[in-house]
Amino acid sequence: MKEYIFEVEDGEFQRLDMYLVRRFSEEGGALSRARLQKLIHDGQVLLNDAPVKAHHKIKAYDKIKVIIKDGPEHKLKAQDIPLEIIYEDDDVILINKQRGLIVHPGAGNPDGTLVNALLFHCRNLSSIDPNRPGIVHRLDKDTAGIMVIAKNDAAHMSLSRQFAAHSIKRIYIALVLGRVEFDEGAIDLPIGRHPFNREKMSVNFKDEAREALTRYKVLKRYKEFTYLSLMPQTGRTHQLRVHMASLGHPILGDVIYGRKHKAAEGLKEKLNLALYAKYLGFIHPATGKFMEFEHSLPEDMQDILDNANKQ
């Protein structure tokens, strides 16, 4: 069992769960909001020695105790699911996640996830969040690309600190509807839950929305779509998809934030989400050396570019 004690600083006034998400991220623990909300619900978070609700507003000098019991809440299955491993050593694994693969078990998805595949490949994974062993960051189910996995708690904490400090370099490639006007720019708009559809995210300015920053650079403009790189400076849920849609340039194949379209001649009616995590650079937790990894585009995205170049 582990216990964490936090004292709220002067000037803090926000929801308990949001405060703890930030504090654990700063400390290198990186517990998800859903995980913290469950701990609060189960009475494992005490505010001034008393249980409270997740939405309780904290104030200066409040004392918060978080109790994390040993062992996973549910037994996770090891499953023989194919993985494309880019690199592996005693501390980290780099994989090229395929589209359609959910990162970790959750409601409605108890198995068949990346975590289940990792447990089959390597039983030594970080245990900071026992329900998501090894997972330091996520990619959406429909987003493919490079992910780094932590094989021990020291590596997990090091990588979490780097993500919290926004020092990890990430580059995504996207094909977006329409012709993006400026060659490069930044989208600095907060993201929170959609006010009417809680399964979606949206740009909004409510209290629970969190700052989100995305930089972009146009690589090439085509007749009906733009080929560009996206550099997220923060890591909000669906950040790149929401930000591009907010500019009026949704990512091709995005059935949640986009709209039905035929982006270019020769494209299939049902297009996969044209978003790919192509590059990842970070400081290795054990060696202290900067490492960088890059992978070629998925075949379907490359085919779109090749066909457009022939027109």
| Residues with catalytic function | 140
* Coil/strand/helix, residue 155: helix
299 Cβ contact partners less than 8 Å away, ≥ 6 residues apart: none
DSSP state of 210: B
- Contact indicator for 239, 209 with CB cutoff of 8 Å: no
**DSSP string covering 252-308:** TT-TTTS-----STT--SSPPP-EEEEEEEEE-TTT--EEEEE-PPPHHHHHHHHHH
Beta strand 63-68 with 169-177 is unpaired
The backbone torsions φ and ψ at residue 222, rounded to the nearest 5 degrees and listed phi first, read: -115, 180
Its sign, for the CA torsion 29, 123, 279, 189, is negative
| Dist. CA 38–CA 25, nearest whole Å | 17
> Amino acid letter at 288?
G
Distance from the first to the final alpha carbon of the chain: 62
Its sign, for the CA torsion 250, 251, 256, 261, is positive
**DSSP string covering 160-207:** HHHHHTT-SEEEEEEEEES--SSSEEEEE--EEE-SS-TTSEEE--ST
